[in-house]
Structure 1
């Protein structure tokens, strides 16, 4: 199928599920693969690694939030598989796109995540683009975001270990709730209610953190609003100075530790000096 864009035509093929065979064929026949998917499951990660060329280079952009793993929307194991196989895995909390790029020649843009539901079982619809100029622009956009250290962070084995430790402490009888969080503050920033707040128990987090991480987490947890400003944490710098008398740059340390909590998928950066907690104080 050809679509006209200005004075040029672009080859597009509409793909609906099951799309797994088309997807794996792209995996088998490419040497550079760029994936952007908020959710990813271990079975699809295994399929990609089993079907790719040995020399293929893979980069993965995903949205790393504790609640995604708590609700089983994503698998820690999937990210482990990739990291163990030298895949560059990065976290972009704002990610919603599902874009898969192969060798700068083909791109699959779809409504489906890298899950069996997204590629096979659900009704999903997408387009396979065979136009090199368009794919080149998509690749450029992907790499622009992927290498933006202000918005994107590397997912490490240490981060996965801490997340697993938190989830291992969730009581078996604890049920998953799908409650919508309230818009408590900063409504003018258009922060919408979401289903991404972890409610596996705050103690599962505190028992998995230590040192500065735990101190900053406890301070943030005691802030009554879900969205908070950096100054609210700065207000406790005298208390932190008492806990850590050897540190002479408390404000810089606070910013560093907030970044650490962000890497762990526990808080989200909203705006300059503004953050959102990604857990429920229960």
Structure 2
């Protein structure tokens, strides 16, 4: 079965975390500490948790991701992996349900932004996703993060100057429909002008 997710998915996501008895597998390039706390608070005590993310200094400098989030996961005896080319966002619960989505593990992604995704419960499809997740964890380009790595990254971050914040002016957008910007002459004129 496939369920469409076209509204903020925080409640559904946390419900799946709470219902998980054995495992939660997370894959997202951006991870924030408040969401990790919520996951750890809501998940069953026996559910093993692992995360594949993109450990990137610039993401931590810009506060797109929180190093503290990874530290919290490791302190709770969970596994954290890094894959530098990660863009995928998917989450697997007890190898029975999977969420594939555009949402990162951030408050904006799960609670505020317009994101889109699906919840899958078809076991054949979920098994394929689980297999892909395991392959990603064991890929030659994937590294396992330890608490020592977290400390080294924090030491580097402590030496960097803060990223400057810029004020962005409010811009009034014209949301009125303007047909002058809509092409409606049909494909023939395009073909005619593109023909060599």
* Shorter-chain TM-score tier: 0.7 to 0.9
The one of 32, 36, 41 equivalent to 1:50 is 41
Distance 1:162 1:81 in 2: 16
Q: Quick check: 1:61 aligned with 2:61?
A: no
1:114 is displaced (CA, Å) by 0.4
1:89 is displaced (CA, Å) by 0.4
Distance 1:144 1:168 in 2: 34
Contact 1:71 / 1:176 at 8 angstroms: preserved in 2? no
Task: Spell out the pairing of 1:1-282 with structure 2 (5 A cutoff).
Answer: 11-30=1-20, 31-148=22-139, 150-172=140-162, 174-175=163-164
Contact 1:59 / 1:89 at 8 angstroms: preserved in 2? yes
Distance 1:154 1:141 in 2: 17
Q: Cα RMSD between the aligned structures?
A: 1.3
- Give secondary structure in 1 for the equivalent of 2:81: strand
- Give secondary structure in 2 for the equivalent of 1:61: strand
1:170 is displaced (CA, Å) by 2.5
Distance 2:160 2:134 in 1: 37
- Give secondary structure in 1 for the equivalent of 2:136: helix
- Give secondary structure in 2 for the equivalent of 1:94: coil
1:93 is displaced (CA, Å) by 0.6
- TM-score, length basis structure 1: 0.57
Gaps of 5+ in 1: 1-10, 178-282
Distance 1:20 1:56 in 2: 19
1:164 is displaced (CA, Å) by 1.3
1:17 is displaced (CA, Å) by 3.0
1:176 is displaced (CA, Å) by 5.8
- Give secondary structure in 2 for the equivalent of 1:153: strand
Q: Deviation per CA, 1:86-134: give whole Å up to 9, x if none.
A: 1110011111000001111110000000001110111111101111110
- Give secondary structure in 2 for the equivalent of 1:154: strand
- TM-score, length basis structure 2: 0.81
Contact 1:17 / 1:119 at 8 angstroms: preserved in 2? no
Gaps of 5+ in 2: 167-196
Number of equivalent positions:
165
